[in-house]
A = this chain, B = another copy of it.
Amino acid sequence: MGEPFAVRLFDRVRSLGPLCVGIDPSRQLLESWDRPDSVEGLEFCALAVLDAVIDTAAAIKPQVAFFERFGAAGYRVLERLLDDARDAGVLVVADAKRGDVAGSNVGYADAWLSDRSPLRADAVTTSPYLGVGALSPLFDLAAESGRGVFVLAATSNDEGRALQSARTASNERVQELVLRSIAELNQRADGRGVIGVVLGATRDRPLFDLATVGGPFLVPGVGAQGATADHVARLFERCPPGTVLPSVSRAILQAGPDRAGLRDAARRWRDDLSQALP
């Protein structure tokens, strides 16, 4: 892979700007694009978005649920999308939100972060309900293979707030527990910055100093979910340049299937975000 994920992300954000385009080929999207709700519709949609944003997006973020929906055949399409993105030099964050006990996370690490896997991506999103510690097989393989892991801290939706704001025995909220655990792990990993965080742009600034997390930030909730480039800039104002990756999905996808429409929407968001972020 050459350089570690954090370095590749920094380089790509510096040259293209900080836009991540979410690829969410849901049933509704296929319908609104006038495409069949089938593996063929899925493949058309996924590859059309990649093609339209190759020169604009630092990264794409396929939502794995919409590929899994078609079973093995949908995963074949995801493998093709990953291959094509790799060939084009576009970074891929597989939005899988995987998470299990450590022994099973070895399987998820192999799936998304191993050089030999057909599903290998530049980074994968993970869920810490079974503990940040249980995710260590993912962190270890990411460090080894030059890939990245984003762990959910505070998500962009409302339904998760009660849980993510619950207080641990040391009176720390769950979202800060996640942020602090990751900051400690990134420090031990000698600044490699393997472990990133998912932090919704629609949320308030956490009590933990984001500038000390030491890894990249994946930031959903921009566009259709209500947050603007300025929200993102304020939330991450003290974070190092090239570490903040806002992700826009619907606000770009709704401009398709027309290639020029998709490209122009991506450019507008890219320009907005480039201007607002350091």
Query: Hey, which bits of chain A sit against chain B, CB under 8 A?
Result: 24, 26-27, 63, 65-66, 68-73, 75-76, 78-79, 95, 97-108, 110-111, 117-119, 127-134, 152, 155-169, 173-174, 177
Contacts and interface: CB of A to CB of B under 8 A. Distances in A.
Contacts of A133: 158-159
A164 to B, nearest CB: 7
Copies of chain A in the complex: 2
Which of A66, A69, A118, A161 has most chain B Cβ within 10 Å?
Answer: A69
Contacts of A128: 129, 163
Contacts of A106: 26-27, 65
A163 B66 CA distance: 29
B177 A159 contact: no
A270 to B, nearest CB: 23
29 contacts: A24-B103, A24-B104, A65-B104, A65-B111, A68-B111, A69-B107, A69-B108, A70-B117, A71-B111, A71-B117, A72-B72, A72-B73, A72-B78, A97-B98, A97-B99, A97-B100, A97-B127, A97-B129, A127-B127, A128-B163, A131-B157, A131-B159, A133-B158, A162-B177, A165-B168, A166-B168, A166-B173, A166-B177, A174-B174
Which of A68, A99, A157 has most chain B Cβ within 10 Å?
Answer: A68
Contacts of A159: 102, 130-134
Contact of A69 (B79, B97, B101, B117): B117
B103 A26 contact: yes
Contacts of A131: 157-163
A127 B130 CA distance: 9
A129 B132 contact: no
Contact of A162 (B27, B65, B160, B169): B169
B105 A65 contact: yes
